[in-house]
Amino acid sequence: MLEALQSAKTHRLLRLQLLLDSTVPFSAMRSWLDLIKITGFLWRNLVTLFTPLAVAFTMSVVSKLCSLITLF
């Protein structure tokens, strides 16, 4: 992720969209305070470099499969 951010900064991109594919944000959703801290950290550190900035928490394929398996 750091390499991608450095590359985006080097190429002077005006917009950036992050799609975070990790179980960490999903476990953090159990506690809204943790999720707010993660989002706040990303916002504070990236908003000065890229405007507009979009951050989305996406579910990985493995997590989706696990969720589907537990439904049956």
Has residue 18 been placed in a domain? yes
Q: Does 68 have pLDDT greater than 60?
A: no
Q: Which amino acid is at 6?
A: Q
Could you tell me if residue 28 is inside a domain? Answer: yes
> Is 3 a member of any domain?
no
pLDDT digits (tens, 9 = 90+) for 1-25: 667 777 878 888 777 766 666 666 5
pLDDT at 67 over 80: no
pLDDT at 66 over 60: no
Q: Are 53 and 46 in contact (CB under 8 A)?
A: yes
Domain tally for the chain? Answer: 1
Residue 6 falls inside a structural domain: no
**33 is in which domain, residue-wise?**
12-71
